[in-house]
Every structure is written in C-alpha cells, then in structure tokens.
Amino acid sequence: MVRPYGDTTGDGMVQLSFTLPLPHDKRAEGAALQLAGSMGLEPAMLVHAKGMGPDFTFFVVYGRVNHLVDVSAVQVVEREYPLLSAKDVNQALRSRLRRKLVVVGACIGTDAHTVGIDAILNVKGFAGEKGLEYYREIRVVNLGAQVLVPELVDRAGAERADAVLVSQVVTQRDAHLTNTCEMSAAFREAFPAARRPLLVVGGPRFDESMTAALGVDRIFGRGTTPAEVASYLVHALAKGSP
Amino acid sequence: MPAGSRPRTKLDLDPAVVRTARALARRAGRPVVKLARSHTTVSVERATLRLAGLEGADSDGIPWVNRLVDAVRADAGLEHGVALPVWHAMGTGEHADLVQLAQKAAAGSVTFRVPEGAAAGKAGRAARRDVGRGITRIDRRRKERERLIARIGDPPQRPWIYLIVATGDIYEDIPQARAAAREGADVVAVIRSTGQSLLDYVPEGATREGYAGTYATQENFRLMRAALDDVSRELGRYVRLTNYASGLCMPEMATMAGLERLDMMLNDSMYGILFRDINPIRTFVDQRFSRQVHARAGIIINTGEDNYLTTADAVDEAHTVTVSQLLNEFFAKEAGLEDWQLGLGHAFEINPDLPDSFRLELAHAMLARELFPAAPLKWMPPTKHMTGDVFRGYLLDGFFNLVGAMTGQGILLVGMMTEAVVTPWLSDRDLALQNVRYVLGAAGKLHEDFRPEAGGFIAGRARQVLGEAVELLEKINRDVTHPIPLLGAIADGTFGITRRPADRGKGLDGVVRRADGYVNPAIDILDLSPNVGMGRPGAKRSVTGSPRAN
C-alpha cells in the first residue's frame, strides 16, 4: 500500500489544475475548493486562481488525498517475449523464415504525425536504438503519413507483408481508436485468417490491454523502442500467430 | 570588397558565400519554373473558372468547376486550357451563365471544342474579360485590407502572435477565434480537416463536420474573415486570418483566399511532394499559380521548413531548412512575391538533452534572420521533444520564445505545453500567451545588446550550416542524370529518406502538358504583375543589410 508523496512518506499530497466556466471571484474560488473536496482532497489549498477573460477561471490546487494505492492489485501488460539484440533478431529470422521479414508501416487516417512510425522504422531509430530498416533481415516499406486504409491493405498484399505497423498520434475525438478498428476490420476482410499479416499499432495514448477490442495483435504505448518491436515480431512469428 | 566597407552584421557571413547560395538556388529553380510554365493542371484550370465567378456544387457536392473542367477535358482535352472551349461555348448565347453551362455539361448536353482563328480570338477576349473581373475583385480586397489596417492599426509589437483554432465546426471556430484574438492573437490560423489536402475538389458551403480541423471552403473563409473584422474593430488592431494553400487544390485555395481577403496562406514549394506524396510536377505547376495569386492579393505566405526538422534530426539536417528557404525564396520571387510576403519557416526542434542545444537553436535562427533580413520569418515551436511532461514543455516553450525575441522573428506560432497530449485547452492557451508576453516584455529588446562573439560558437555554427547548404545545392545541381536536376534530387531522396520520382505520386493524372495555343487569361494577367520573372539576376538585393535591425 502506498500514498502519493509530497515531501514526507505517507503525506498523500497531490497537485491539480483545472478551469471552471465561472468569472473569477470568491464564489468561483469556493467552487474550486468544493470540486477538490469532492475529488478527495482534504484539506485542499487553493494556491492560484486567475481569470481568463470574463467567463473562465483557472485554478491550481494542492491537497492531501486519503486514498490508498494497492500495488498488488495493479494490472499491467508485462512484456511477454524476451528482448533480443539486433544480431539475435537477424539470426532468428534467418533460421526461421529463410527470407527477409517484410514490414509495412504507415500513419493512417488524417494523422500526419510520422514521428512514431519513423522512430521505429527509420535507420535513425529512437532512444539510441537503430530502427527496423537497420536490421539486415527485415525489409521495411514505410508508406508515411495519411495513408488510406484500402491503400495500406493493397500495399501489404502486394509486398507480402508479414507485419503491418500503424502509428497513431492524433487522438481528437478518439480518432486513433476508430482508425485502428477500421484498419483491423479491413485486413480481416481482405485476408484469410492464416495469411493475414500481424497487425501492430502504436501511439502515446493507446491502452496496451485493448488488443481484442481493437482487433489487433499487439499495441505499443509511449516510449516503445525499435528493439522491442523487432523482438515482438520474432516472438509472434515463432508462435505461428496470427 | 575590402573588409570594413560593408556594414558588419551579427554573424559576419561572407557575402560571396551568400551570393553563391542564392545563385545555386536560382540555378536549381529555373528549369522547374520552365516546367511549370509548360504544363497546366486540373486545379489551375478550376481556379481560372473560379476567378470568372463560377461557384457552387451539384447535388452530390461536386463543385461546378470540377464538373466543367472534367467535361471540357473529356471532349477537347486540357492542352489548350479550359478558357477557349468554355468561352467559345458561352459565345453561342445558349447558356445564361457558367453555372448553367456546367449543369448542361454535366448532363452531357454540351460538346466542347477548341475554337480556331477569329472564333478563338473572340473566345479569348471574352474569357479575359470575365476572368479579369475576378482579378479585379482580388485587387479590391487587397485595397480593402490596406484601408482597414490604416484605419484600425497593426499589432503594436513584432513578432505577431499566431494562434491555431481547430474544432471542425466553423460555427464553433468563430467564437474560439474571437476569444483567441481577445487573448492576444494577431494571427488566427484555422487548421484544415487534414484529409482535405488529398481531396481533388474544394468542398462547398459552411461546414460543421471536420476531422482534426475544419474544411477550407470559400463560405467558411468568408464567415471567419467577417467575424475577425468585427473583433479587429473592437480590439483596435487588424487580426489576420490564415489558411492553407497546399495539397491538390492549391491554386483554388489561393484564389478563394484572395477573393475573401485572407491574409496569410501556408504555401511551401516542396512540402506536398515530400510529406504528402503529391506528384512533383503537379506541385510545382500548382505552386506557381498559387504564388502568383498570393503576390497579387497581398497575401503573406508561410513556408513549411519546420517539417524537415520534425521528421529528421534538427542538427544534422539544419542545412536542409536553409536550402528549402532559399528555394522557397526563389520560387516566391519568381512568382512576384515581395520580401515582406515571405514568411519563411523554421523551428525550434533540437533535442534539449543535447549539449549547447540552445546555442545551436540561436545560431540557426540568426542565420535565417541574416540571410533573409527583410522577410517576416515564421518561427515554429517545439513539437518533437515535447514529451508529455507539461512542466518541462513550458520551460522549453519559454526558451523558444526567447530565441524568437533575440532574433527578431516576424511571426511566432505560440507553443503549447500540452503539445502531443491534447488539443489545446483554454488554460493551455492562456498559459502559453503568458509565457510569450513575459519573454517579449522581459527580453524583447535583447537583440539590441546581443551580438555573438565573431569567432565564437554561434557564428561558427551559422557559417557551418550555410556551408552545408551550399554543398547540398551544389550536389542538387550536379545531378546530370535528370534533365531537371531538382526533380532528380527529389526522386533520389536527397531531401530526407523519401524518394519522390516525377512520374509518381498523387494528382499526376491531373497534369497536362500545354499545347502551343494554350490560353489561360488568369496567367496572362498575373504574368504582367510587376515583379514576376526569373529571379531577376540583375536586380539589386540586400544580402547582408539588416533593415529589421535584429
């Protein structure tokens, strides 16, 4: 069991900022404290309040929460595969596939942020690790941004892709979720189950436990490195999935 | 020139190197201009019809300009342009106006042909009269802007503060844009529904359903400009409106912007090719037309060099920004744009964990400032290294603002600490503007005192980046495998790892080589505008002077 930590073990201190659609006055400050109280901050300190135009006020609140966190009850997706070096990935692919592994990557929908897919695919890589293009036994086809789902399905078929990597950064109106569902449905429709490429999505706002709901084989969240993706691909192909 | 006889600038760039860089950009750009002048596109032809007043769409939402251009193309081809076949058909007197002609064409009851001899002369004159009305309307809009600015006033400070609005619903955008202006925005940009850049038509009417942005339509332009006119009067400063002349409908976007008095347009010479996989020839042809319209309309363009840095390393690839700026400058001036209209882009995207990252940013920003002393540079905030740690992001935005203040940037896109987390909240915008105001208030005049050491790190870095830019331009011009070296370089992936061959990419089927008798009255009129020409090698241009006194 743990509590939030301010400057003393067990003090339970948190900070919070929010806006209320009220003009800045005493009543608005009272309303902010009421909200903090309802959220379990007791006592709550209103440390900053600032009017933003005639109709809104911004607040910063510090306070103590009495909630306890039961660490033993926390559920996370643990990595289900061993992390391999680039050399081991290449070796495993060479012995198992006897050809290059084909990965097709794209940002789909209206998302123009290629930063995620490029971090995983480009030689340049991410966090000091080289991207999948650097792996001798992986052939990478990076389709870039704003790729239409039918185009992605066609290219995956034409390139005989073993895996399709999709990155989604824009999350306005849950675009990342609807786009992913659309993508996975299109692949299920276009390919027989045995020949469907592995579907992998990544992005900063995905919940890694939602694979079934989104119809994909694996979800990668914030901070994923190319080696993790490469190791997963080796692992998944060895399992014979999908 | 003996040392000491020229005005010393802060970085003390070698004027000979600067001249070489410009000459190389001109050499790379010229064959592309020739290419642009020998082709047309469906969107150029549609823009021409828009200038002649053809608006509206059929019941499926397909604009009449698309219907008419498609019908002409099917009957007579586009090699001669739409003007002759369309105004030849109008000359029969059987059609009340262009809309009716388009309706009949869509129904298949009109057949188009390219007239010859006296009939061609007659059709050409009629086309020029009608298209000329559109250009006159753009001229009037420009005068109207000048009058409003004279009466209401410009923002009191530079840089102008640039804020983004993007709800997808024009009727939500309007109150947000008004609020942004009241909070301090000097420029309001309405982000487009991003999928729009790949649509080969412009949607019609007021729209309420966009995706991560609002559709750019002529009606939405009109509604937003009218709303900002009201708030400009209220605030006593003219608030500028920005949209996008990019994607497959670039010429039409520029035309609509001119007709509705938009003030700035995002318009890059190569962005569509490299980042949207739009066909290179389509892009260059569309781009030239759109820039000619922008020049005429008094619109400030914003170029997209920030994109080079978000997809590549901001230190290793710094020189690609300079190369792109030089090319954008050449293509802009060739199309008649003046220095004050060149919002050349650059961005604060160096990894903050890198030693001396701030000094490097400062060097790059100063280099842009000194290379383009009379241009209102557009300074773009960090996005790539905004991690979700909003507190660190706020500090990074502060340093971004500081570089902006120290280097006399013209247009400052306000960075949000919640970049890559959420679309900006009301409080994010308020905090971001406090950040800008603090830095400009505290250090806005620091450029008066700040001068980097002549042989120091910053000056050295700027010289190095300029040198690498010259090398890259030389490499582009050396590519003899392609008749147009710049297209060869783009095909070979010289700009980043993307390879974009000239015979591939979206929108290629909308490109047509002009025949000898090609007529486009809009281009004929725009080519007569004062500054149009091939980079004017004889023109006197300040390369080292610093009229903006940064």
> A9-18, pLDDT tens digit by residue?
999 999 999 9
**In this structure, how many other beta carbons lie within 10 angstroms of the beta carbon of residue B125?**
13
Name the least confident of A65-74, B274-283, B362-371, B434-443.
B274-283
Share of chain B above pLDDT 70, in %: 95
Query: Which residues in chain B have their CB less than 8 angstroms from residue A52's CB?
Result: 183, 426-427, 430
Please determine, for residue B541, whether its predicted confidence score (pLDDT) is greater than 50.
Answer: no
Per the CB < 8 A criterion, the answer to whether B490 and B502 are in contact is: yes
The partner residue sitting opposite A115, judged by closest CB among B277, B310, B427, is B310
B278 plus B355 within the same structural domain: yes
Query: Which residues in chain A have their CB less than 8 angstroms from residue B275's CB?
Result: 112, 144-145
Candidates B62, B90, B66; CA nearest to B78 is B66
Locate the chain B residue with the closest alpha carbon to A114.
B311
A-contacting residues in B 186-205 (Cβ below 8 Å): 193-195, 197-198
| Model confidence band, residue B275 (pLDDT cutoffs 50, 70, 90) | confident
Per-residue pLDDT tens over the stretch B504-534: 888 999 999 999 999 999 999 999 987 887 6
The partner residue sitting opposite B311, judged by closest CB among A118, A146, A204, is A118
pLDDT of the residue at A98: 87
Query: Which residues in chain A have their CB less than 8 angstroms from residue B211's CB?
Result: 109-110, 172-173, 175
Interchain proximity A58–B430, CB inside 8 Å: yes
| Model confidence band, residue B493 (pLDDT cutoffs 50, 70, 90) | confident
B287 plus B370 within the same structural domain: yes
pLDDT of the residue at B536: 47
Listing DSSP states for A74-134 in one string gives -------S----HHHHHHHHHHHHSSPEEEEEEEBTT----HHHHHHHSTT-BTTB--GGG
Ranges of each domain in chain A = 13-65, 86-239
- Mean pLDDT, residues B11-28 taken together: 96
Please determine, for residue B476, whether its predicted confidence score (pLDDT) is greater than 50.
Answer: yes
Compute the mean pLDDT over every residue in chain A, rounded to the nearest whole number.
90
pLDDT of the residue at B201: 96
**Residue tagged 């299920």 (tokens):** A188
Say if B50 falls within a structural domain: yes
B-contacting residues in A 111-140 (Cβ below 8 Å): 111-112, 114-115, 118, 122-124
A-contacting residues in B 100-129 (Cβ below 8 Å): none
Locate the chain A residue with the closest alpha carbon to B506.
A147
SS3 B54: coil
Domain boundary among B475, B490, B505: B505
Per the CB < 8 A criterion, the answer to whether B141 and B259 are in contact is: yes
Per the CB < 8 A criterion, the answer to whether B188 and B239 are in contact is: yes
B210 plus B65 within the same structural domain: no
pLDDT of the residue at B7: 55
Candidates B388, B387, B389, B416; CA nearest to B400 is B416
Give the HSE-up count for residue B131: Cα atoms under 13 Å, Cβ half-sphere: 27
Compute the mean pLDDT over every residue in chain B, rounded to the nearest whole number.
92
B92 plus B202 within the same structural domain: no
User: Could you give the C-alpha distances from B135 to B49, B130, B149, in angstroms and in order?
Assistant: 12, 9, 21
Beta-carbon contacts of residue B407 (< 8 Å; ≥ 6 apart)? B362, B365, B366, B368, B369, B379, B447, B550
Candidates B503, B464, B495; CA nearest to B367 is B464
Query: Which residues in chain B have their CB less than 8 angstroms from residue A111's CB?
Result: 194, 212
User: Could you give the C-alpha distances from B85 to B89, B100, B267, B470, B519, in angstroms and in order?
Assistant: 6, 15, 31, 47, 10
Q: What's the distance, Cα to Cα, between the start and end of chain B in Å?
A: 24
pLDDT of the residue at A175: 81
Burial of B53 (0-12, 13-18, 19+ CB in 10 A): middle
Interchain proximity A52–B275, CB inside 8 Å: no
**Domain A86-239, CATH among 3.40.50.1220, 3.40.50.280, 3.30.1360.120, 1.25.40.390:** 3.40.50.280
- Torsion A152-A156-A157-A159 (CA) sign: positive
Share of chain B above pLDDT 90, in %: 79
The partner residue sitting opposite A19, judged by closest CB among B193, B277, B427, is B427
User: Could you give the C-alpha distances from B187 to A214, B142, B152, B193, B212, in angstroms and in order?
Assistant: 40, 17, 15, 19, 20
pLDDT of the residue at A112: 64
Please determine, for residue B546, whether its predicted confidence score (pLDDT) is greater than 80.
Answer: no
- Mean pLDDT, residues B445-471 taken together: 95
The number of helices, as runs of H, and strands, as runs of E, in chain A is 7, 8
Give the strands of the sheet with A56-65, arranged side by side: A13-20, A56-65, A41-52
| CATH annotation of A13-65 | 3.30.30.60
Say if B390 falls within a structural domain: no
Candidates B130, B244, B333, B378; catalytic one: B378
C-alpha dihedral over B315, B316, B319, B321, to 10 degrees?
-70
pLDDT of the residue at B50: 98
Higher pLDDT, B366 or A207: B366
Say if B270 falls within a structural domain: yes
Q: Domain range for residue B330? A: 1-34+251-380+451-505
pLDDT of the residue at A162: 95
Locate the chain A residue with the closest alpha carbon to B181.
A53
B338 plus B482 within the same structural domain: yes
Per the CB < 8 A criterion, the answer to whether B100 and B76 are in contact is: no
A150 touches chain B (CB under 8 A): no
- Mean pLDDT, residues B324-339 taken together: 97
Q: From CA A131, how far away is CA B160, in angstroms rounded? A: 39
Interchain proximity B420–A204, CB inside 8 Å: yes
Please determine, for residue A64, whether its predicted confidence score (pLDDT) is greater than 80.
Answer: yes
Please determine, for residue B1, whether its predicted confidence score (pLDDT) is greater than 50.
Answer: no
Interchain proximity A115–B311, CB inside 8 Å: yes
Distance from CA of A115 to the nearest CA of B (A): 6
Say if B174 falls within a structural domain: yes
B467 plus B360 within the same structural domain: yes
SS3 B506: strand
User: Could you give the C-alpha distances from A133 to A102, A136, B545, in angstroms and in order?
Assistant: 10, 8, 46
